[in-house]
Structure 1
Amino acid sequence: MQAVKWPHGCKSAAMFTFDLDGDIIWKNMSSDEPNADKLIRARSVGQYGPNRCVDMILDLLDKYGVKATFFVPGYVAEHNPAVVKKIHAAGHEIGNHGYTHERFVEKTREEQIEIIEKTQKIIKDITGTAPVGFRTPSGDWAVDTPYLLEERGFSYSSSMRGDDRPYRTVLDGRVTDFIEIPSKWELDDYVAQAYNIYPAEPAGLDRISCYRNVQQNYLAEFAGYHRYGLCISFLMHPQISGAPGRNQILEEILREVTSHQDVWVATASQIADWWRQTYPAESSREG
């Protein structure tokens, strides 16, 4: 396997990303339940993310000198502008994450455009800077979504799962400047650690995985990515990884990753820019 080039002679790259979904994901999940508008307790789980967990995460990131990327739905940004400003002021990147955490695969072209542009405006109005990156909510986008993002000048997406390195998105056989930075389900804290009640899943098992096992899984993935010189994208949610007990898992990961001087820890936009400059379209290894 051909070695990947990273800045400063580093062996591998790592980025820490946080989807600040707030309570909108719980609102979506409970929408078919009786009296959904009155299920305040469930929605408060999501509100816990912006209200409390962001501060704990920002403290940890500052402790380890890491700049992260936060993907924020427009609805959440609208209702938590002070939190978004705080993240931005701390030097972290803000990315577009839809408006109400919609599944883009279910939306028309026109609806997608409205969602993307609405959230761009909301975040720019709050921070003064429009996002250059996008993460599709729920991990599914429509066939035309990358076309719409490229047309609107986005630098990158971090939505797909099909590689462990960034790559140039190919649209109609054309190798573009629009970079994809994949993550993986096993790097998503929600999969293992969210207490799901709409519906109750995984059926027949504990609702939350053992924290020690989750931590070991993360560290094993990082060891493998680093060994092969790849780009690991940690995909977390403040309401999950910012909670006091799980925050310790995050700290162990931050401690391990930053203890390696040959790991380039960067934001998603920095990684996308590096890849675009280092691997020109005419010499792209991607198909």
Structure 2
Amino acid sequence: MSDAIRPRWPEGKTGCMALAFDLDGPTGDAMLNGSIWQKPEYFTFGGYGPFRALARILDLLRAFQVPATFFVPAWVVEQWPQQCRAIVEQGHEVAYHGYRHESFWSLNASEQRQVMATSRDIFWQHLGIRAGGFRTPSGDWHADTPSVLLDAGVTYSSSMRGDDRPYAIQVAGYEQPLVEIPGKWEMDDYASLAYTREPDFPKGLDRTASYALTLDNWCREFDGAMAEGLCLTTLFHPKISGKPGRILLLEQFLAHMTANPQVWFARCGEVADWYIKEQQHD
């Protein structure tokens, strides 16, 4: 990539890594339609994230001295406030991720505003923070979502897939744009590590991907992004990658990333702040 179009990162670094986790807990479709209350298996699978896996991830981040952003549904903050406070106390960022992991694309503007208002109150009550970031729980959003987010005090989103670096979403009627820090499905641990029983082909073969192959894929994505001076973020989930065997996988990935001295490791909020300042500078 031409040096003329490479992003300029702080501290003279040549690439940016914004490590991020979605602490969904048991929220999602099954909770929204009520079926989760008849499925203890699913509830405990989700609850494992904040209850047990989160602590392992925080310990790992502390060992490598790497900051991260946690996108957390407000319902999870209500149910596990002590665990969520530990995220903030250890210097990481907590950002919005809906109330119960709603599909924002299916909510009208009024319903979205209610979700954001409820989340804002819960974050303040339990964590004492006003979050500046948002990741859409559904992987997509309604046309009204950017203006809803700006009205809620959000400065950045990490929801879309439109580039390999932060970019601005201009919203009619607002002077300051919404900063987007795009992710990639390749960096979603669900794609490789979530246990699946369907489709069962070959017949009877339940599956996850090879851990060695998963690590190789992640490292290649990281190396490629850093070679071009870009920004990479992750869509990792504690309930998926915070298990005993997989935390070793994350440890190897962090070791690979931190071996590169030219990488700026940042919370998503810091990336958004940097982008706004750079745009003003240009």
Same topology, TM > 0.5: yes
- The corresponding residue for 1:3 is 6
Percent of pairs with identical residues: 40
> For structure 1, which segment, 159-168 or 248-257, has the greater mean C-alpha deviation from structure 2 after superposition?
248-257
- The corresponding residue for 1:19 is 22
Distance (Å, rounded) in 2 between the aligned partners of 1:173 and 1:211 = 47
- The corresponding residue for 1:267 is 267
Which residue type is aligned with residue 74 of structure 2? G
Q: TM-score, normalised by structure 2?
A: 0.92
Which residue type is aligned with residue 212 of structure 1? A
- The corresponding residue for 1:216 is 216
Native 8 Å contact 2:123 2:129 kept in 1: yes
Distance (Å, rounded) in 1 between the aligned partners of 2:30 and 2:15 = 38
Q: Secondary structure of the equivalent of 2:235?
A: strand
Native 8 Å contact 2:105 2:138 kept in 1: no
Structure 2: tracts of 5 or more residues without a match: none
Structure-2 change in CA distance of 1:280 and 1:158 (3 Å) = same
Native 8 Å contact 2:116 2:152 kept in 1: no
Structure-2 change in CA distance of 1:201 and 1:155 (3 Å) = farther
Please report the RMSD computed on the Cα atoms of aligned residues, expressed in angstroms. 2.0
Q: Deviations over 1:116-165 (max 9, x none)?
A: 11011101111111110000002111111011111222110000011110
> For structure 1, which segment, 222-231 or 253-262, has the greater mean C-alpha deviation from structure 2 after superposition?
253-262
Q: Secondary structure of the equivalent of 1:94?
A: strand
Cα deviation for residue 3 of structure 1 reads 1.2
Establish whether residue 152 from structure 1 lines up as the match of residue 158 from structure 2. Answer: no
- The corresponding residue for 2:169 is 169
Structure-2 change in CA distance of 1:76 and 1:184 (3 Å) = same
Q: Deviations over 1:209-265 (max 9, x none)?
A: 111111110000001001000000011000011111111121111111111111000
Cα deviation for residue 176 of structure 1 reads 3.4
Distance (Å, rounded) in 2 between the aligned partners of 1:160 and 1:269 = 16
> For structure 1, which segment, 40-49 or 94-103, has the greater mean C-alpha deviation from structure 2 after superposition?
40-49
- The corresponding residue for 1:249 is 249
In the TM superposition, 1:73-88 aligns within 5 A as 73-88=73-88
In the TM superposition, 1:1-287 aligns within 5 A as 1=2, 2-25=5-28, 27-28=30-31, 31=33, 36-172=36-172, 176-196=176-196, 200=198, 206-280=206-280, 283=282
Distance (Å, rounded) in 2 between the aligned partners of 1:174 and 1:122 = 26
Distance (Å, rounded) in 2 between the aligned partners of 1:178 and 1:171 = 7
Higher strand share: 1
Which residue type is aligned with residue 243 of structure 2? A
Native 8 Å contact 1:12 1:225 kept in 2: yes
Native 8 Å contact 1:169 1:175 kept in 2: no
Cα deviation for residue 11 of structure 1 reads 0.6
Distance (Å, rounded) in 2 between the aligned partners of 1:239 and 1:145 = 27
Structure-2 change in CA distance of 1:90 and 1:8 (3 Å) = same
Structure-2 change in CA distance of 1:180 and 1:113 (3 Å) = same
Cα deviation for residue 203 of structure 1 reads 6.5
Structure-2 change in CA distance of 1:37 and 1:78 (3 Å) = same
Structure 1: tracts of 5 or more residues without a match: none
Structure-2 change in CA distance of 1:26 and 1:239 (3 Å) = farther
Native 8 Å contact 1:25 1:46 kept in 2: no
